[in-house]
């Protein structure tokens, strides 16, 4: 077998390897051996200076920025209730139309009382009858006490006479029986009083039930708000649970959003928050509620923000972009063009240290603005390469030129070094 093609293949593979993977080594070797005659470019420059790359950099100082959690949500009425009937009857009041404003206690639906007034009168008569039984029962107790006292005295006398031999055994037994009968009569009288008192309580309960039934005939607004539906029409039959109307309260109004679990700890009750409706109207309020239970499907947590709405200009169900303020943090504002990726795919920037040597710094973007991006992960003051970061790697010595400055990072004269 001929070895020439095999040797050529090995040579080509080695050449490609050196060009692709050892490019920096070959460049440094070529510059180190550049010893042209005097007057030729590069002949009077030291080898290490010939390898310096010129870049544009910026000195960035960290600033405290207010972090914010951005949510997508909607407006929601502070209170909403469907007022329903508690009893049956025919509506005898004129209906109120949806959109009307009602105050707490205003009548929305009124039902025909029917025979309820007669039932109330009957319950009151039963109460009076029960109350009249109490004096009779108390008189029976007084009579029972008197009889018991009399039988007790007779029994005592008979026992004394029987002991002296002046009373027979039959008289003693009769006196004891009379005493037992008097005791039983007193017990019955006391039971009669208890029964009369129970009758009074039952009759009073009947009166209260009849009065409550009459009160239920008038359906009133539990709080002030706006009617979202018409009230029940005149002549319609209401049953327990039949809705009379729906009321919503729009002042204050709520902004409702759902925060992901990675940001839920950044939102606290009482934090300032704002929102922007699709109409462009801006709102401001405070966080009033953060759910302690996440949604099983989305793993998000409900957040409510209370916003004043005195003119009722904000409606229920409008889409809103919500921003909730959280604790501030130190960050740098840099142009998006300065961002780059390292060999592992991490997002960051190329920076320059005091020796003009480059190194990669990973960052986290916390906010995107028209002026640039706010990032964290850098020191309090950092020199960031904004032009040329794609042409250097870690450990490369560069010649940085700063925007608005003539001096490089090490303080030497740039023109003199050129």
Residues of the domain holding 168: 116-215
> In a 10 Å sphere around its CB, with 0-12 CB exposed, 13-18 middle and 19+ buried, how is residue 4 labelled?
exposed
Task: Classify residue 269: in a domain, yes or no.
Answer: yes
Residue with tokens 């870049």: 55
The pLDDT score that the predictor gives to residue 67 is 72
Predicted TM-score of the model (pTM): 0.56
24-33, 304-313, 352-361, 403-412: which has the minimum mean pLDDT? 403-412
Listed residues 292, 327, 362: the one ending a domain: 327
> In a 10 Å sphere around its CB, with 0-12 CB exposed, 13-18 middle and 19+ buried, how is residue 250 labelled?
buried
Give the integer Cα–Cα distance in Å for 235 and 258: 45
**H/E run at residue 377:** none
Q: How confident is the prediction for the chain on average, in pLDDT?
A: 83
pLDDT tier for residue 27 given thresholds of 50, 70 and 90: low
Task: Classify residue 8: in a domain, yes or no.
Answer: no
Give the integer Cα–Cα distance in Å for 392 and 330: 28
Q: Are residues 342 and 314 in the same domain?
A: no
- Residue 258 is part of a domain; what is its CATH number? 2.40.30.170
Q: Are residues 196 and 256 in the same domain?
A: no
Q: Are residues 131 and 208 in the same domain?
A: yes
Q: Are residues 296 and 354 in the same domain?
A: no
The pLDDT score that the predictor gives to residue 408 is 42
Task: Classify residue 389: in a domain, yes or no.
Answer: yes
The pLDDT score that the predictor gives to residue 19 is 67
36-50, 58-72, 123-137, 298-312: which has the minimum mean pLDDT? 36-50
Decide if pLDDT at 262 tops 60: yes
pLDDT tier for residue 176 given thresholds of 50, 70 and 90: confident
pLDDT tens-digit profile of 314-363? 999 999 999 998 777 788 999 998 999 988 889 999 999 988 899 999 99
Q: Are residues 127 and 174 in the same domain?
A: yes
pLDDT tens-digit profile of 84-142? 999 999 999 999 999 999 999 999 999 999 899 999 999 889 888 888 877 777 777 78
For 194, the token pair is: 């208890």
Give the integer Cα–Cα distance in Å for 223 and 213: 22
Could you tell me what percent of the chain has a pLDDT over 90?
Answer: 37
Mean pLDDT of all residues in 213-217:
93
pLDDT tier for residue 38 given thresholds of 50, 70 and 90: very low
Q: Are residues 299 and 353 in the same domain?
A: no
Q: Are residues 334 and 323 in the same domain?
A: no
The number of domains in the chain is: 3
Q: Are residues 128 and 203 in the same domain?
A: yes
pLDDT tier for residue 47 given thresholds of 50, 70 and 90: very low
Query: In sequence order, which residues have a C-beta less than 8 Å from that of residue 181 and are 6 or more positions away?
Result: 151
Task: Classify residue 49: in a domain, yes or no.
Answer: no
Query: In sequence order, which residues have a C-beta less than 8 Å from that of residue 110 and are 6 or more positions away?
Result: 91, 92, 93, 217, 218, 219
Q: Are residues 295 and 205 in the same domain?
A: no
* Residue from 324, 387, 310 nearest 352 by CA: 387
| Higher per-residue confidence, 145 vs 1 | 145
Task: Classify residue 338: in a domain, yes or no.
Answer: yes
Decide if pLDDT at 173 tops 70: yes
Distances (CA, A) of 252 to 75, 275, 288, 293, 393: 11, 14, 12, 24, 57
19-28, 192-201, 220-229, 240-249: which has the minimum mean pLDDT? 19-28
* Residue from 55, 66, 46, 32 nearest 374 by CA: 66
Task: Classify residue 43: in a domain, yes or no.
Answer: no
Q: Are residues 338 and 320 in the same domain?
A: no
Give the integer Cα–Cα distance in Å for 1 and 69: 72
* Residue from 259, 252, 287, 256 nearest 271 by CA: 287
Mean pLDDT of all residues in 15-24:
68
The pLDDT score that the predictor gives to residue 2 is 62
Listed residues 196, 215, 234: the one ending a domain: 215
* Residue from 366, 339, 340 nearest 263 by CA: 366
Q: Are residues 136 and 206 in the same domain?
A: yes
Mean pLDDT of all residues in 218-241:
93
- Residue 375 is part of a domain; what is its CATH number? 2.40.420.20
Listed residues 279, 296, 327: the one ending a domain: 327
pLDDT tier for residue 144 given thresholds of 50, 70 and 90: confident
The pLDDT score that the predictor gives to residue 162 is 73
The pLDDT score that the predictor gives to residue 106 is 94
Task: Classify residue 158: in a domain, yes or no.
Answer: yes
The pLDDT score that the predictor gives to residue 418 is 37
Task: Classify residue 99: in a domain, yes or no.
Answer: no
Decide if pLDDT at 390 tops 90: no
Give the integer Cα–Cα distance in Å for 296 and 290: 16
Q: Are residues 294 and 352 in the same domain?
A: no
For 344, the token pair is: 């592992």
């Amino acid at each position: 077998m001929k070895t020439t093609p095999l040797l050529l293949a090995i040579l080509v593979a080695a050449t490609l390897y050196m060009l692709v993977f050892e490019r920096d080594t070959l460049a440094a070797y070529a510059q180190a051996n550049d010893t042209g005659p005097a007057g030729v470019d590069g002949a009077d420059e030291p080898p290490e200076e010939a390898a310096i790359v010129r870049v544009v950099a910026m000195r960035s100082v960290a600033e405290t920025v207010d972090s914010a959690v951005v949510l997508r949500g909607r407006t929601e009425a502070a209170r909403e209730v469907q007022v329903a009937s508690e009893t049956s009857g025919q509506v005898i009041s004129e209906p109120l139309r949806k959109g009307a404003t009602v105050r707490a206690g205003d009548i929305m639906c009124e039902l025909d009382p029917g025979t309820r007034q007669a039932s109330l009168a009957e319950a009151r008569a039963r109460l009076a009858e029960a109350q009249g039984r109490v004096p009779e029962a108390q008189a029976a107790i007084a009579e029972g006490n008197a009889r018991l006292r009399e039988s007790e005295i007779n029994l005592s006398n008979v026992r004394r006479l029987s002991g002296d031999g002046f009373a027979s055994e039959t008289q003693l037994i009769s006196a004891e029986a009379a005493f037992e009968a008097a005791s039983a009569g007193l017990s019955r009288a006391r039971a009669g009083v208890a029964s009369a008192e129970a009758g009074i309580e039952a009759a009073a309960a009947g009166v209260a039930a009849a009065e409550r039934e009459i009160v239920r005939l008038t359906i009133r607004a539990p709080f002030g708000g706006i009617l979202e539906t018409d009230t029940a029409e005149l002549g319609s039959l209401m049953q327990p649970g039949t809705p009379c109307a729906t009321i919503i309260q729009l002042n204050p109004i709520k902004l409702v959003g759902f925060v992901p679990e990675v940001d839920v700890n950044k939102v606290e009750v009482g934090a300032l928050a704002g929102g922007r409706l699709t109409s462009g109207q801006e709102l401001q309020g405070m966080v009033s509620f953060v759910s302690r239970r996440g949604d099983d499907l989305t793993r998000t947590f409900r957040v409510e923000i209370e916003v004043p709405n005195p003119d009722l200009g904000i409606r229920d169900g409008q889409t809103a972009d919500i921003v909730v303020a959280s604790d501030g943090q130190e960050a740098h504002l840099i142009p998006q063009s300065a961002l780059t990726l390292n060999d592992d795919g991490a997002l960051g920037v190329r920076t320059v240290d005091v020796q003009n040597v480059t190194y990669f710094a990973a960052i986290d973007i916390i906010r995107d603005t028209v002026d640039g991006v706010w990032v964290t992960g850098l020191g309090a003051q950092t020199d960031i390469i904004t032009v040329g970061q794609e042409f250097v790697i870690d450990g490369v010595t560069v010649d940085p030129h700063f925007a608005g400055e003539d001096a490089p990072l090490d303080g030497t004269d740039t023109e003199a070094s050129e």
